[in-house]
Amino acid sequence: MKIRNSLKSAKLRDKNCRIVRRKGRVFVINKTNPRFKARQG
């Protein structure tokens, strides 16, 4: 998992990326290709 300042570029890397908020943190998750996971904050 990458920790980034901005998740906009992480979201655009793959069409299956979703932005999810959990416990006040913003995550990018990808069910089909888990190596695109990222977190902000």
pLDDT in tens, 1-41: 889 998 988 889 999 999 999 999 999 999 999 999 999 97
pLDDT of residue 37: 93
Strands (E), 1-41: 2-4, 18-22, 25-29, 38-40
Q: How far apart are CA 23 and CA 33, in angstroms?
A: 23
State the pairing for strand pair 38-40/2-4. Answer: parallel
